[in-house]
Amino acid sequence: VMRLTKPTLFTNIPVTCEERDLPGNLFNQLMKDDPSTVTGAETLMLGEMLTLPQNFGNIFLGETFSSYISVHNDSNQMVKDILVKADLQTSSQRLNLSASSAAVAELKPDCCIDDVIHHEVKEIGTHILVCAVSYTTQMGEKMYFRKFFKFQVLKPLDVKTKFYNAETDEVFLEAQIQNITTSPMFMEKVSLEPSIMYNVAELNTVDTSGERASTFGSRTYLQPMDTHQYLSCLKPKQEFAEKAGVIKGVTVIGKLDIVWKTNLGERGRLQTSQLQRMAPGYGDVRLSLETIPDTVNLEEPFDITCKITNCSSERTMDLVLEMCNTSSIHWCGVSGRQLGKLHPSSSLHLALTLLSSVQGLQSVSGLRLTDTFLKRTYEYDDIAQVCVVSSEIKKES
């Protein structure tokens, strides 16, 4: 049994000396005569020749395990009904890798039966390749033997994820991917496959001269023990975004699909399990901002639009809005007005006017919603921030 892997580029250690040293030009001439060196660049360690694997090497999760199996008849007698079976034993299952289950009618002396097996490795830990051969001798005696080849499957990448829940129901996913092997990787693809309730936008490119370019450059190489951070934004699909209570309880976001290449284009692929977030708790009533200006003038009214959602799936609410002024933010309008009844899982939009008496970055606070049925008050502070500037400064800009 021989594992089939990509060859490696042959390397040698150049040994040189100056012409006035005792060996003279001997070392340089030997390097020029060495067929493994590059003509005109003999002092480079990297040559043009390829080296076949000298040992089993490492195999990593997500790679394809390929092996060449050869059964050779060393005797001087012909054998019949030869059946070669290859199984891969893991910690959880036993897989049959043989391409054919039919027996070979006969095998003459000094002849062999060859087979190549492939398997995409999906588990880490100890794997045992079990090769079993059964045959019948010329005397009619049935013979059987097995050979075992044990190897370890290692973890190639360390993946860490973080979730950020936005007020707009968007979910931002930060994925940190670290190469924990001893060789560099070319990251061919890192993408998020969202669940059925979300659309995804990858945020790993920048706009340069009208063209989208990767934040990692034109070649996404990941050196040993290096880490790349990938950012994705998930937005609820329209049919689910309109249902207030549906998106609130969604915890399954999707799964990461990672494809890489290593030595001479050897390919590996990993898919994470379904990523889950902690569902944000909004309580019975949720207040979110639909529109708000980034910059406003000092002591001049500006408008915002709020969205109030009844997150309860059973209870109708009768809401009263109170607007409490702060030291910098002053609300315009009648406080304590009735908003009417809000049915379960429904929303209403509310236009409000306010002004700021202090310059700088100010926090919008002071909204209170009271459910008259339960006599319960919900407080909303630090809803958003707005930059307040003098009107003269804004005109100059």
pLDDT-derived band at 246 (thresholds 50, 70, 90) equals: low
Q: 306, 342 in Cβ contact below 8 A?
A: no
pLDDT-derived band at 281 (thresholds 50, 70, 90) equals: low
pLDDT-derived band at 280 (thresholds 50, 70, 90) equals: low
- Measured CA to CA in angstroms, residue 76 lies from 144, 145, 277 at distances of 18, 19, 67
CATH numeric code, 285-396: 2.60.40.10
The whole-angstrom distance between residue 304's C-alpha and the CA centroid of its chain comes to: 38
Please give the Cα distance from 131 to 115 (Å, whole number).
11
Higher pLDDT among residues 39 and 128, named by residue: 128
Confidence (pLDDT) at 394: 53
Please give the Cα distance from 280 to 247 (Å, whole number).
10
Confidence (pLDDT) at 255: 94
Once rounded to an integer, what is the mean pLDDT over residues 258-268? 89
The conformation of residue 265, written as its DSSP 8-state character, comes to: G
Q: 115, 69 in Cβ contact below 8 A?
A: yes
157-276 matches 61-154 in CATH topology: yes
Please give the Cα distance from 315 to 373 (Å, whole number).
10
Architecture of domain 157-276: Sandwich (2.60)
- 29: helix, coil or strand? helix
Once rounded to an integer, what is the mean pLDDT over residues 60-76? 91
Once rounded to an integer, what is the mean pLDDT over residues 336-364? 90
Output the CA angle 178-273-158, nearest 5 degrees.
15
Confidence (pLDDT) at 177: 95
Domain map (residue ranges) of the chain: 2-51, 61-154, 157-276, 285-396
Percent of the chain with pLDDT over 70: 94
Confidence (pLDDT) at 11: 77
Please give the Cα distance from 343 to 141 (Å, whole number).
83
206 has pLDDT over 80? yes
The conformation of residue 109, written as its DSSP 8-state character, comes to: T
Higher pLDDT among residues 63 and 397, named by residue: 63
Please give the Cα distance from 77 to 82 (Å, whole number).
13
Please give the Cα distance from 352 to 159 (Å, whole number).
45
pLDDT, one tens digit per residue, over 302-323 is: 999 998 888 777 888 899 999 9
Confidence (pLDDT) at 87: 93
Q: 144, 95 in Cβ contact below 8 A?
A: no
61-154 belongs to which homologous superfamily?
Immunoglobulins (2.60.40.10)
Once rounded to an integer, what is the mean pLDDT over residues 343-363? 90
26-35, 173-182, 251-260: least confident range: 26-35
Higher pLDDT among residues 124 and 101, named by residue: 124
What's at 302, amino acid-wise?
A: F
pLDDT-derived band at 178 (thresholds 50, 70, 90) equals: very high
The two beta strands, 104-107 and 79-89, are: antiparallel
Please give the Cα distance from 362 to 85 (Å, whole number).
74
The conformation of residue 392, written as its DSSP 8-state character, comes to: H
The conformation of residue 103, written as its DSSP 8-state character, comes to: P
- Count the neighbouring beta carbons within 10 Å of the beta carbon of residue 37: 22
Count Cα atoms within 13 angstroms, Cβ side, for 128.
Answer: 11
